[in-house]
Amino acid sequence: MMKPRFVLIWLLAAVLFASGCTVIAPAMEPYLATAQAILPSPQVFTTPLPQDILPTITTIPDPEPVKITFDGTAEFGVEVNTFDVDFAKIQGLGAKWVRYNGIVWSDVEPLEGVFDWSKVAKFEEGAKKAQEAGLNLIVIVRGTPVWAQKIYGYYCGQILPEKQVNFAGFMVQLVNRYSQAPFNIHSWEIWNEPDVAPELIPPVSPFGCWGDQMDPFYGGGAYAEMLRAVVPPMRAVDPAVEILPGGLLLDCDPANPGQPGRCAQGSELPPRFIQGVLQAGGGEFMDFVNYHGYPSFNSNMYSPANSEINFPTWQARGGVVEGKANFLREMMAAYNVKLPLFLTETSFLCRESTPGCYPIGDDFLQKQAEYGSWLVVRNYSENISTIWYPFNGPGWRNGGILDNEQNPRPVYYAIQTALRKISGSILIRKIDEYSGIIGYEFQSQQGRFYFLAPVSDIPPTWALPDGVSTISDIFGQPVSPDTISPLISPIFVDLK
């Protein structure tokens, strides 16, 4: 007797065929042939495990820090959860990228070789609008069809090894379809937060779930094998294609797990996912290493940057954004991989149980704006491209750049000001001589300037240096020198 799920699928196939929207398997043959012709022969990887990085399953000593050289290539973008958005507002913000989640393989190819492209009609309308606005799209592709699932019922999970060629063929179709006008899409993110095990989330989750708790590398090797199957055909079709692996959740620092975090529950496996990817040679099939990190508001804070830096599960390495970046750079260095970092999800959250969050208060809105300014300048200085999630409001845990009426919050203007200020600027140095303050010195066409932000629990006192021309706040408004010590909010200081 057929399971109910399969009865529904075959009924769906009949409906699709009757409606005329079906593309059957023979139409897939040229794409599968392209994928099969380019795929390398299966091989066993014998890359030795760097024993000085992860010598055992239970202990991870700190690797050597990686020196960063400023390159000025980091860019800023936003994620939209609907294309019913005012793209002019995104343009006005100064964003270059729009991330979208996403195209769902299981929706488009519910039966092997049967394609329903009507499922992407709304996506195509929105993609055209983004292109017309001069924005670059990053499109997430996810969702394993039932017939290709390694774990039955888990659309977020791994693909059967023998069906990876089908996914490669599907991705080749997407690249052929969207790499040229009117779409001009070249950036593809394959899954979203794959470093989560299927047991931990719903089967149809929009994130996860390639994690394998029985694997010392948490499924990272399987993910690398999928990239090996899928990426070469994509590159053959579009030499300009850019591959982003699924943005990593990185729930905790495995060497210093803190509380809470899955590492603190007796397992250090989740952060090993990226090591599994790199150990299996997956770095060859990626153009970025991307990850996610979210600090949160609390009603007693002075500095939102402090919330990020002292995030419990990443505090020892530098925080939930920069600490994760440090970890990823160290992992890449261990495997002789050098790829740019992309923070493809971040914002400043206001959790449901926090006073001042429901309803939203002015204090949160101000701190969210301060964090937006800090995030833009610091990430530009540290060569980390950034996507704020989401642009639409009010957003998950009130993290949106727009409010619930889709009007700009103060964070919109703070990010806009910061992007305009640093555009084309060259980093001279990091400023760390003031206790409780982190800053950066830049050279622009208009001259030298500082960005200074408080990062301590208590507003720091400090003395203004000589040679100051003007001081402005995160919105570009003039600030009196008499009001900046103690420093309670980030400022820009223009020098003579």
Q: Could you report the per-residue pLDDT of 56-80, keeping only the tens digit for each?
A: 333 344 455 666 678 788 999 999 9
Q: What is the per-residue pLDDT for 65?
A: 63
Using the predicted structure, report yes or no on whether residue 291 has a pLDDT greater than 90: yes
Q: What is the per-residue pLDDT for 329?
A: 96
Using the predicted structure, report yes or no on whether residue 444 has a pLDDT greater than 60: yes
Bigger pLDDT: 67 or 135?
A: 135
What's the average model confidence in pLDDT over 103-107? 98
Q: What is the per-residue pLDDT for 408?
A: 98
Using the predicted structure, report yes or no on whether residue 222 has a pLDDT greater than 90: yes
Please state which of the ranges 85-94, 152-161, 252-261 shows the lowest mean pLDDT.
252-261
Label residue 449 left, alpha or beta by phi (over 0 means left) and psi (-120 to 50 means alpha): beta
Bigger pLDDT: 312 or 97?
A: 97
Asked if 430 and 457 count as a contact pair (C-beta separation under 8 A), the reply is no
Bigger pLDDT: 3 or 306?
A: 306
Using the predicted structure, report yes or no on whether residue 20 has a pLDDT greater than 80: no
Using the predicted structure, report yes or no on whether residue 165 has a pLDDT greater than 90: yes
Q: What is the per-residue pLDDT for 63?
A: 52
Using the predicted structure, report yes or no on whether residue 233 has a pLDDT greater than 90: yes
Share of the chain above pLDDT 70, in %: 85
Report the alpha-carbon distance of residue 131 to residue 124 in Å, rounded: 11
Using the predicted structure, report yes or no on whether residue 331 has a pLDDT greater than 80: yes
Using the predicted structure, report yes or no on whether residue 199 has a pLDDT greater than 50: yes
Bridge partners, 105 (sequence order): none
Using the predicted structure, report yes or no on whether residue 330 has a pLDDT greater than 90: yes
Using the predicted structure, report yes or no on whether residue 8 has a pLDDT greater than 80: no
CA 285 to chain centre: 17
- Confidence class of residue 39 from pLDDT cuts 50, 70 and 90? very low
Bigger pLDDT: 254 or 173?
A: 173
Q: What is the per-residue pLDDT for 267?
A: 64
Please state which of the ranges 19-23, 70-74, 421-425 shows the lowest mean pLDDT.
19-23
Using the predicted structure, report yes or no on whether residue 96 has a pLDDT greater than 50: yes
What's the average model confidence in pLDDT over 334-358? 94
- Confidence class of residue 146 from pLDDT cuts 50, 70 and 90? very high
Using the predicted structure, report yes or no on whether residue 241 has a pLDDT greater than 80: yes
What's the average model confidence in pLDDT over 168-181? 97
- Confidence class of residue 260 from pLDDT cuts 50, 70 and 90? low
- Confidence class of residue 332 from pLDDT cuts 50, 70 and 90? very high
- Confidence class of residue 54 from pLDDT cuts 50, 70 and 90? very low
Bond from prior residue into 390 cis (ω within 30 degrees of 0)? yes
What's the average model confidence in pLDDT over 417-443? 96
3-state secondary structure of 470: strand
In sign, the C-alpha dihedral spanning 310, 315, 320, 323 is positive
Report the alpha-carbon distance of residue 204 to residue 151 in Å, rounded: 12
Using the predicted structure, report yes or no on whether residue 207 has a pLDDT greater than 70: yes
Using the predicted structure, report yes or no on whether residue 380 has a pLDDT greater than 60: yes
Using the predicted structure, report yes or no on whether residue 299 has a pLDDT greater than 80: yes
DSSP string, 356-398: TTTTT-HHHHHHHHHHHHHHHHHHHHTTEEEEES-SSSS-GGG
Share of the chain above pLDDT 90, in %: 76
- Confidence class of residue 35 from pLDDT cuts 50, 70 and 90? very low
Write out the H or E segment, with its range, that includes residue 35.
Answer: helix 25-38
Report the alpha-carbon distance of residue 152 to residue 148 in Å, rounded: 9
Please state which of the ranges 31-40, 165-174, 389-398 shows the lowest mean pLDDT.
31-40
Structure tokens at 301: 């804070």
Q: What is the per-residue pLDDT for 265?
A: 65
Bigger pLDDT: 27 or 364?
A: 364
Asked if 211 and 265 count as a contact pair (C-beta separation under 8 A), the reply is no
**Kind of pairing, strands 187-190 and 437-444?**
unpaired
Q: What is the per-residue pLDDT for 261?
A: 65
Q: What is the per-residue pLDDT for 204?
A: 93
Average pLDDT, the chain: 87
